[in-house]
Structure 1
């Protein structure tokens, strides 16, 4: 099948130890666990990155997220840019607490392309697989991923991987970047120093392209930097954007304390806001209604901050969705 995708981001989701990182390695040959602590503990702590090569040679970026509840803020930083999610549910465990939490997050983000992957299928008999399928169908009902295909795989034996690859290609065929509008923005998920090169930042690009030599603005601080070089999946390029995983080497950023949550944007964006209007949905798993003037922890893009929710409804509260 010939792919006509522009660019897209594939993300993982699912409970801890449900085989997300092992699945990506089995699909791509790339290990997304890059930290020493992750190797020692055998669990993902922070975001990991890889790519999936489509039939026409285009590389879809992959963001592998941690599944442990302690690292949910890291999961959210990666989930904001997902176009297609590989949602893992282990055959031996079935649906678990972070399975539900991650699905709620994806639903609230409006993620509509997804594949439920029953991992560790070599550890379960057909009856157990059927039970897990039923659990997934029940959990997904009423969410943006209701009706998504379910594929059982084993990252150990390789069973089901070809079917999964084919479904990824099918879902991305004809995909048009949903965030390919407006000027360039890059919510940062990493910022670090490479000896001899200086400051490097990475993220999932939104909006128009960025080019070598272009001046960008750091938001919310308003500082200006310039792009020295660009890489996409370790390849040097002259321009990038449109839902690609991008690494930018910057000049003028040496004295800036760049970090996850900052946004690099077209220099014409010179203002930030401290308030915005939004439609809020409180998921059924919430223990209570959201009342007017409640302090909340807000995740937007890759940023995390404290905010206050002003409920405009006459009732002064938003109840959990039934």
Structure 2
């Protein structure tokens, strides 16, 4: 672009990077990663432990471009198709005798969230950057399964309004079983954000009816309204060191080469981030002094590079998952050390809090959300009654008491908090780990049950005690 300070056009941005984040949620082993692989061609199960157990443990992500044929005679849903995010130029419809050209409708980052109950905090971190979600339900199991209900409750906690429901593994059941599963899904989603969604039956492994999923993503999920004018801000959900063992810093007359700075990965929530921008990362370095007082030192650095998968960018806009190359010591970024931080322009960042006062709402039971606009706990109770003859196995969520220990998710930051005061539906929390957050921001609340933290409610930040920054 001739003027580096001009605002990019939406079409220009969408061609080069994903502009919307769509989460894939649901119970463990229902086929979330298989659907992402089917849509993008990328396997999000990458780590050794994940491959050994064949489940997602860390947040996986992959991009795809969603196209629609411009030939009005091309029948739906065959006129919709997902291609690799590296696809460029003119794409011809592959339906025989059509001859139409495919037009880019969406460029999507899919956020593949873990479905196992002990990995709930990772799922909540992923929910922090979602604009919409696909709720995946396996047709060969009763609905709802525990994490089906809990995951839907979690995304509703984060105020996600657009949810597409997909019924997977239809190739493993009879027509009657598929119909029974469909009816269970419709009953379960009644009264939730997903109640108006069409239930799309598919087989991700056999790649059957996936074009219908693409159609729903293009037509039922609107593009979020983005703020391009404000100072840039990004939620960090991954960070890593891209150097290989043995890499060294090389100095020459042209400057330094060899070792690269650490990389922060996440989603821009507002503004436009450009190469060479000076940015600040908060909270940054968190230490304790000789008196055991917490000290916070934000990190300042320059944006060395911007990337969307393997595509190098000159600028990045809200939506989609972006890798930000920095000049930071790689040690500060390795093994997700920056997860939960917020990156943005210096002097425009939220405060860093060590105590929060929250306005909270608790679930009545461990799974589901009470109320007409939320996940109905009676659905899971009915499932327990039908299958076990007893819904009393559901654990009731008790009220907060002083000294209760909770796990909170503020954006992508997960940490422990101790309740130091409760009055009506207000609670004061002392945090084990400082967080960078805005007043009014939504947070998720979890409590430990049977050795793992489970979602028990949500809250909004009313005020907080801010730390002085070094």
Q: TM-score, normalised by structure 2?
A: 0.62
Q: Which residue of 1 aligns with 2:325?
A: 249
Highest Rg: 1 or 2?
A: 2
Q: Which residue of 2 aligns with 1:100?
A: 149
Paired residue for 2:363, among 283, 288, 292?
Answer: 283
Q: Hey, what's the Cα distance between the residues in 2 that align with 1:34 and 1:181?
A: 37
What are the within-5 Å matches in structure 2 for residues 137-156 of structure 1? 137-156=186-205
Paired residue for 1:301, among 377, 392, 411?
Answer: 411
SS state of the match for residue 220, structure 1?
Answer: strand
Paired residue for 2:346, among 259, 264, 267?
Answer: 267
Q: Hey, what's the Cα distance between the residues in 1 that align with 2:236 and 2:61?
A: 14
Q: Hey, what's the Cα distance between the residues in 2 that align with 1:205 and 1:130?
A: 41
What are the within-5 Å matches in structure 2 for residues 31-42 of structure 1? 31-42=43-54
SS state of the match for residue 66, structure 1?
Answer: coil
Kindly indicate whether the alpha-carbon contact (under 8 Å) linking 1:180 and 1:206 is maintained by their aligned counterparts in 2: no
Gaps of 5+ in 2: 1-9, 68-102, 244-258, 285-297, 367-395, 428-455, 459-470
Q: Hey, what's the Cα distance between the residues in 1 that align with 2:264 and 2:328?
A: 13
**Which moved further from structure 2: 42-51 or 14-23?**
42-51
Q: Hey, what's the Cα distance between the residues in 2 that align with 1:315 and 1:273?
A: 17
Q: Which residue of 1 aligns with 2:60?
A: 48
Q: Evaluate the alpha carbon distance shift between residue 314 and residue 232 of structure 1 in structure 2; reply closer, same or farther with a 3 A threshold.
A: closer
Q: Hey, what's the Cα distance between the residues in 2 that align with 1:320 and 1:237?
A: 39
**Which moved further from structure 2: 269-278 or 142-151?**
269-278
Shift of 1:28: 2.0
Q: Say if 2:317 is the partner of 1:207.
A: no
Shift of 1:236: 0.5
Q: Hey, what's the Cα distance between the residues in 2 that align with 1:179 and 1:149?
A: 30
Shift of 1:109: 0.8
Kindly indicate whether the alpha-carbon contact (under 8 Å) linking 1:230 and 1:238 is maintained by their aligned counterparts in 2: yes
Shift of 1:256: 3.6
**Which moved further from structure 2: 58-67 or 176-185?**
176-185
SS state of the match for residue 240, structure 2?
Answer: strand
Q: Hey, what's the Cα distance between the residues in 2 that align with 1:124 and 1:178?
A: 42
Q: Hey, what's the Cα distance between the residues in 1 that align with 2:225 and 2:323?
A: 19
Kindly indicate whether the alpha-carbon contact (under 8 Å) linking 1:91 and 1:120 is maintained by their aligned counterparts in 2: yes
Shift of 1:24: 1.1
User: How many pairs align?
Assistant: 316
Shift of 1:94: 2.9
What are the within-5 Å matches in structure 2 for residues 1-322 of structure 1? 7-55=19-67, 56-57=103-104, 58-95=106-143, 96-172=145-221, 174-177=222-225, 182-195=230-243, 196-221=259-284, 222-254=298-330, 256=332, 258-270=337-349, 271-276=351-356, 278-286=358-366, 287-291=396-400, 293=402, 294-308=404-418, 310-313=421-424
**Greater strand fraction, Structure 1 or Structure 2:** 2
Shift of 1:22: 0.5
Kindly indicate whether the alpha-carbon contact (under 8 Å) linking 1:192 and 1:200 is maintained by their aligned counterparts in 2: yes
Residues 204-249 of structure 1: per-residue CA shift (max 9 Å, x gap)? 2211111111111111132211110000132101111211211011
Q: Hey, what's the Cα distance between the residues in 1 that align with 2:56 and 2:42?
A: 14
